Amino acid sequence: MIKKTMAALSMGLLMQLGVSCHQPIPADLSQVSLIPAPVKLKANGSSYLVSEKTTIYIQDNAGTDKLASLLSQQIESVTGLTLKVEKSDKAPAKGIYLAIDSETKLANDEAYDLNIGEHTIVLKANGPAGLFRGIQTIDQAIVKHNGEKAGWIIPTGSIVDYPQYEYRGVMLDVSRHFFGVDDVKRVIDLAAAYKINVLHLHLTDDQGWRIEIKSWPKLTSVGGQTQVGGGEGGFYTQEQFKEIVAYAGERFVTVVPEIDMPGHTNAAVVAYPELNGTKKKAELYTGTKVGFSTLATRKEVTYQFVDDVIRELSAITEGPYIHIGGDESHVTKEDDYVYFINRTKEIVAKYNKIMIGWDEIAHAAIDASDVVQYWAKDKNAVMGVEKGAKVLLSPSKRMYLDMKYDSTTHIGLDWAALIEVDQAYNWHPETLVEGIDKENILGLESPLWTETVETMDDIEYLVFPRLIGHAELGWSKPEHRDWNSYKQRLADHGQRLKAKGVDFYKSSLIPWNVE
């Protein structure tokens, strides 16, 4: 009798333990520090346990296998767990399921629908770009639970999300100081984690020409051999550039190459003096002054040069945009400048690309097929809108990542402003410039000029965390953009940045959680 009673008690205890071991851990999805803030979020109060038994399931669709691999890699980098990937035509009873569903009525190609249950996580999108954006949300939602039952969990609930602006970019100047392929890939990875979808590469300037043009080889053999301060410079071969484009494409980041013209062209005219539009002999330049160089805007050889450069660059650029610069061309007469932009616009269109230029190009005959990148003058941006062009917002007082945080910042410039983390975040794109409404805005872009930037640590210090705030401005609805909420969420991302080895600026305005 005693043995039977003990056996019954043991069985009951084991059953209780079994139930308790499988009891989901309470968690609140609304308290997870997601950046950018999603459009719609509903929390259910429970959690999904991520373990070594978790499997990622995918449809038998082209591209979803790479997305599953990326998700597995991102989860492993956070948890140390290696998840296997299997194929399935329908959502499984347990596991994570990635599904392209054309019947899912979502806002656009980057939108996603995420449902997190206690046993399954189902991520749906119209296409692979939406799945990738949703994967970044899953990655951010993984939480370490340190209670009695330690483990990695994802709070349950549902998210429907999509961006407010189609273009959300970061610009890297590789001309003032050159950065190699691996550094560019790291920038892509860090930016894509926050749903940034464009990388603008400033490839040419007075200090160096950074892209191989096979029909004009001296551009790199001569013009690519120095940089600010007299370093050795460098350039990308076309194969290396295609490698960058492909890597970015796998992360649904569009590469926008910039050839800055007709000013900022000293490196080009040193290589080919027949292109020089000044009476002074051009020499290799390692300083930081601007506005002293120009192409010969009335010579036909200049337009053969422009045509060859745009032709070769278009052939290795998968995205729709070519950036032609157009800023600070101080020694170019205004009528010569307008003539040049008008001719160059025709060449860009000839190769089926959309022309982007800094806001000065609004003085030329631009139209609805062009994009004006606002950086300095309101009147230029408004003029562009009046001519039908879309505007890309890069206000130097808010979005220039090369500006110092404060007067003590050890690198960076201050000619536009000192831009602390709150200054970078606390503004509204929709009301920034009178005469430019939301429907006129293509998106936002955060430029990093590299006069003082020499290493990857320098890039990370100036870019982060300000780019994260800009990412939220470009993705989230205005009513979801709130400084008090954002600074608390950003504080929790200190741990993520630290884990990735990012040398970010630890602003005193943020109550960082980095332990």
Contacts of 472 (CB under 8 A, 6+ apart): 35, 36, 37, 194, 425, 481, 486
Contacts of 153 (CB under 8 A, 6+ apart): 25, 27, 47, 48, 49, 50, 142, 143, 145
> Could you tell me which of 445, 403, 393 has the C-alpha nearest to residue 170?
445
3-state secondary structure of 387: coil
Tokens of 416: 């536009």
Q: Are strands 151-161 and 40-50 parallel, antiparallel or unpaired?
A: antiparallel
Separation CA 202–CA 213 (nearest Å): 15
Give percent helix, percent strand, percent coil of the chain, each to the nearest 5. 40, 20, 40
Look at the chain and count its residues.
515
- Check if 283 is active-site: no
Prior bond to 511 cis, omega within 30? no
Identify the H or E element spanning 313: helix 300-315
Which DSSP category does 29 fall into? Answer: G
Residue type (1 letter), 416: A
Q: Provide the token pair at 454.
A: 């020499």
**Which of 436, 412, 440 minimizes the C-alpha distance to 424?**
412
Contact present, 197 and 320 (Cβ < 8 Å): no
Q: How large is the angle between the packed helices 466-475 and 456-463, nearest 10 degrees?
A: 50
Question: What is the C-alpha separation between 81 and 139, in angstroms, rounded?
Answer: 13
**Tokens coding 428:** 């509204």
Beta bridge partners of 99: 124
Neighbours of 514 (CB within 10 A): 14
CA pair distance 114, 68, nearest whole angstrom:
15
C-alpha–C-alpha distance, residues 96 and 91, integer Å? 8
Tokens of 317: 């650029």
Q: Which residue shows structure tokens 């009301």?
A: 431
Enter the DSSP assignment of 105: -
* Rounded Cα–Cα distance for residues 495 and 512 (Å): 8
Alpha helices by DSSP H, 31-114 = 64-79
Helical packing angle, 466-475 and 483-499, nearest 10°: 130
Annotated active-site residue in 118, 166, 250, 328: 328
Helix 456-463, helix 181-192: angle, nearest 10: 20
Active site residues: 328
